[in-house]
Structure 1
Amino acid sequence: MARKNSIRMYPQEMQASMALAWVYALRMLGMFLMLPVLALYAATLPGAGDNKMLVGLAMGMYGLTQALLQLPLGMASDRFGRKKVIYLGLAVFAIGSFLAAVANSLPMLVLARAVQGAGAVSAAVTALVADLTREEVRTRAMAMIGLSIGLTFSISLVASPLLSDYIGVAGLFVLTGVLTLISMLVVKFLVPDPARSKLHEDAEVQPARFGEVLKNKELLRLNFGIFALQCGMMALFTSLPFALQDLGMNKAEHWQIYLPATLIGLVLMVPAIIIGETRHKLKQIFLLGIALILAAQLGLLFGLHSVWLIGLSLIVYFVGFNILEASQPSLVSKIAPSELKGTAMGVYNTMQSVGLFSGGALGGLLFQHFGFNGVFAFCSVLIGFWFVLAAVAPAPAPVKNVVLPVGKAWHERQEQLHSLLIKVAGVVAVSFSADGETIFIKALQQGFDEAAVKKILLGANECL
């Protein structure tokens, strides 16, 4: 029944969402495509010697500049225009990719990766999606972007070792740069210009309200969680390819390890998330995901002497990783006030990038001085601490966010509208956008009378 009554996306909204999902996924391709092969490549460049810390910086430097610039560039898009900032970011990303392709030393590669990360268009793309979609369908548009990122991650891990065997890692950087230039054409010709750009509180950052997000203990736990997840992943890929190489596996054969791990991870993630959402077991599924990551890190700590044990550990790892990648943004949206969801996600995404940088830098440092055991012992302790933090956190309420437009007849009567809506069955909280044109409702997943809400919004004159 709910599917029959769902609001369909306009063709223009569908086209814009699909095109921007491509651009967003491509933005992540620069990191994902390099994960399985970059450490091995960096270690062969002049200036590397036995400096695994510098190799780790080549892996993670991308995340540092991304963390520093993605929110400022998102806010710049409010002032200078979405597409202008996106063009700038993509151009910088392409330049960084081409610089990486011609890097003739490890320090130059580190610099090129920093330039890549400086093309941080994620926040600007999200803002453009919000400009081009109605409130009622925006969640679906964002879900399309999330799906594109997940598929890009899985495909990249498998394709990267194979492609690099044919065109080299430098060729992968060239390919990334060319695809980035193509994506600029996609933005130009397939993404409509927004009729009007404005701040969308559910999708964009409000700098003046950072304090409210940073004071929320539950959001802080999730921010630490995404930091730990990405830090552990980057540390893993800074060292694991060397372990596979030591066991006699050529770089081009590494896909044989990654393919079953990523496929099984994707397949098992879907029912886990469905159970978590529909049976109100999100906390249990969330803890299961962390426990699987922890088990995998411990498995790698004690199983690096065997390709089979590494493969089994990676299967466990990617089941947990995919569960956590899918569930954590959902938890942020459930916990954050509806009108602060964009700000909460902005902080969350920044911590994700900080985790990428930290994982590369710390992973390289630990690998340099303590070898494989130092890397995976650190990751195990980090994930174990995260498990404890998550275990003592309260279970999230079974709620969802509903965003709807407010008719002009209600603009001067927000208090009256609020008092009517808060009485509707299943409504937990009601808030308004700064311009009064949008209403944010936090509602129970079951028992919410959405039809009554829409009737109130459409019947403004009857409520006079």
Structure 2
Amino acid sequence: MNRVEKRSVITLSSILGVRMLGLFLILPILGLYVNVIPYATPFTIGIALGIYGLTQAILQIPFGYLSDRIGRKPMLILGLILFTLGSIIAANASSIYAIILGRALQGSGAIASVALAFLSDVTREEERTRAVAILGISIGFSFIVAFMVGPILDLIVGLSGIFWIAAILSTLAVLAVIVLLPEVSVNTSRQDTQPTWTDLFKSFCQIDLLAIDIGIFFLHMILAALFVFVPIFIVENFQSSSTEQWKIYGPVLFCSVLGMLPLLRLSMQKKYTFFVLRLGVAILFIALLMFAIIPISFTVIMIGLWLFFLGFTLLEALMPSMMSRLAPVGKKGSAIGVYNTFQFMGIFSGGLIGGWLYGLYGADGVFIFLACSGLAWLMLILAVRKPNFLESRMIDLKKVPQSEVSALLEKFQSMEGVREVILIPTEEIVHLRVEAEKFNDHDVNSAMGCLTSLN
């Protein structure tokens, strides 16, 4: 990665990781307050846990769409401010209903689609899988850290203190967006690719995009449904207190990441990307099948969780990158908005379904449902076609007079094989997304040479 890519990836990963940490920290502890918070019941506790997924799902498409229209950074800042306000409301809550309101406002800052679109804008095609993988790992790591640290923080600062920590971290994230992220201007080579609401409908009709959307719904539905009851299940069946569960999740996460890295490296070779994706779904299905058909023991739980997080972290890294590659030129914000809507509807649905099934049929009912869901997803993912991968060219504009930049961009846009032109004014560079079999690098050299001779 070059300097701009590294800085953008690190900044965005930190922002999303911190934000998701703030959302996840209360998952392993809020249920313990059912008899403490006024008006709290198991049902209202469940709403408080899952409501952020609903507001995220509703607002992912508008945030992504607006980021295509008015820019990525303004929408990132707006989303983080909403998250901060929601955290403050929840920190000062005097009843479960105020916590529900705060969690809903936290979720209304739906910046995931904007962050992925930003990442897609500033990274070359050949670096995108690695960049999005780092983003996915930061989110997955935040989830596990939340389960390990949440109970400990609860003992030190309490529930209100955890919400205040989330507010402080999100405020720092706003400053990081303003100071560290570059300004990005996006130009496309065709006027008919400017974003319209029709593009959102087309995202639902394009089979490969829809398959990825449904896949991310399955992934996060399974995640949410599983962890509605797994922490309680471990406490009740293996004499493990809530503050000691990090001893289980820590080794599982470490081993999962070790197993995921070589597979992720293999996926960076374009011909193996879809193979690794399908392998990840198969690994996830095997984990769920183990839970469903093998009598539960501590060994089964450890192996099953290892396989689950191996598949989960691999898929969480791969699927956003694939969505970015499949999205129509100039429509990344809108297409990824649809993708993230499915993701967060999966979280909301998983929480509701998992809690409902656990109450009616116990752990076995949830495990069987999840195994069936994994099988359905494995069959569906076979329908995903191989995308037409684009390549990237980065051009330094530091020696180009400012008055000539617009004309040069128009020349780039008119070149055969150029699909997208992305200008980063603050860094004085431009990225070209090109079809390698049609694009001729000599055309760029000629255009730059003409400018040099004129000046």
TM class, shorter-length: 0.7 to 0.9
Shift of 1:253: 0.8
SS state of the match for residue 460, structure 1?
helix
Contact 1:39 1:238 in 2 (8 A): no
Confirm or deny that 1:239 pairs with 2:233. no
Confirm or deny that 1:384 pairs with 2:385. no
What is the root-mean-square deviation in Å for CA atoms of aligned residues?
3.8
Shift of 1:35: 3.6
The equivalent of 2:24 in structure 1 is 32
Contact 1:339 1:433 in 2 (8 A): no
Q: Distance in 2 between matches of 1:280 and 1:45?
A: 54
Aligned partner (choices 155, 169, 175) of residue 185 of structure 1: 175
Deviations 1:335-360 (A, max 9, x none): 34444444332211221111111111
SS state of the match for residue 440, structure 1?
strand
Aligned-pair identity (%): 32
Aligned partner (choices 270, 273, 281) of residue 282 of structure 1: 273
SS state of the match for residue 356, structure 1?
helix
The equivalent of 2:334 in structure 1 is 343
Contact 1:57 1:364 in 2 (8 A): no
The equivalent of 1:441 in structure 2 is 434
The equivalences for 1:12-31 within 5 A come to: 15=7, 17-31=9-23
SS state of the match for residue 386, structure 2?
coil
* Runs of 5+ consecutive residues of structure 1 not aligned to the other structure: 1-5, 422-429
Confirm or deny that 1:89 pairs with 2:89. no
Shift of 1:385: 0.7
Shift of 1:433: 5.7
Closer/same/farther in 2, CA of residues 354 and 264 from structure 1, 3 Å limit = same
Closer/same/farther in 2, CA of residues 272 and 351 from structure 1, 3 Å limit = same
Contact 1:136 1:403 in 2 (8 A): no
The equivalent of 1:457 in structure 2 is 444
Q: Distance in 2 between matches of 1:107 and 1:165?
A: 23
Q: Distance in 2 between matches of 1:108 and 1:273?
A: 42
The equivalent of 2:419 in structure 1 is 431
Aligned partner (choices 241, 254, 263) of residue 250 of structure 1: 241
Contact 2:285 2:375 in 1 (8 A): yes
Shift of 1:317: 0.6
Higher mean C-alpha displacement, 403-412 vs 311-320? 403-412
Closer/same/farther in 2, CA of residues 454 and 9 from structure 1, 3 Å limit = farther
* Runs of 5+ consecutive residues of structure 2 not aligned to the other structure: 396-404, 424-429, 451-455
Letter of the structure 1 residue corresponding to residue 180 of structure 2: V
Shift of 1:462: 8.0
The equivalent of 2:106 in structure 1 is 116
The equivalent of 1:426 in structure 2 is none
Aligned partner (choices 265, 278, 283) of residue 256 of structure 2: 265
Contact 2:281 2:311 in 1 (8 A): yes
Shift of 1:75: 4.2
Q: Distance in 2 between matches of 1:143 and 1:276?
A: 11
The equivalent of 1:72 in structure 2 is 62
Deviations 1:169-224 (A, max 9, x none): 43322211121222233344x33673x755779xx965442233221111111110
Deviations 1:146-189 (A, max 9, x none): 4533443343333333333433343322211121222233344x
Closer/same/farther in 2, CA of residues 206 and 310 from structure 1, 3 Å limit = farther
The equivalent of 1:309 in structure 2 is 300
The equivalent of 2:314 in structure 1 is 323
The equivalent of 1:352 in structure 2 is 343
Contact 1:56 1:362 in 2 (8 A): no
Q: Distance in 2 between matches of 1:289 and 1:143?
A: 14
Closer/same/farther in 2, CA of residues 143 and 235 from structure 1, 3 Å limit = closer
SS state of the match for residue 459, structure 1?
helix
The equivalent of 1:408 in structure 2 is 407
Q: Distance in 1 between matches of 2:66 and 2:13?
A: 21
Contact 1:162 1:255 in 2 (8 A): no
Q: Distance in 2 between matches of 1:365 and 1:402?
A: 48
Closer/same/farther in 2, CA of residues 461 and 179 from structure 1, 3 Å limit = closer
SS state of the match for residue 280, structure 1?
helix
Shift of 1:332: 2.2
SS state of the match for residue 419, structure 2?
strand
Higher mean C-alpha displacement, 54-63 vs 378-387? 54-63
Deviations 1:404-431 (A, max 9, x none): 579835726856x21xx4xxxxxxxx52
Q: Distance in 2 between matches of 1:410 and 1:324?
A: 36
SS state of the match for residue 431, structure 1?
strand
> How many residues align structurally?
431
Closer/same/farther in 2, CA of residues 85 and 272 from structure 1, 3 Å limit = closer
The equivalent of 2:453 in structure 1 is none
Closer/same/farther in 2, CA of residues 42 and 252 from structure 1, 3 Å limit = same
Contact 1:36 1:157 in 2 (8 A): yes
Aligned partner (choices 282, 293, 301) of residue 284 of structure 2: 293
Letter of the structure 1 residue corresponding to residue 255 of structure 2: I
Higher mean C-alpha displacement, 224-233 vs 79-88? 79-88
Deviations 1:26-54 (A, max 9, x none): 222223333433444457644444x3x44
Aligned partner (choices 60, 66, 69) of residue 50 of structure 2: 60
Return the structure number with greater relative CO, CA threshold 8 A, min gap 6: 2
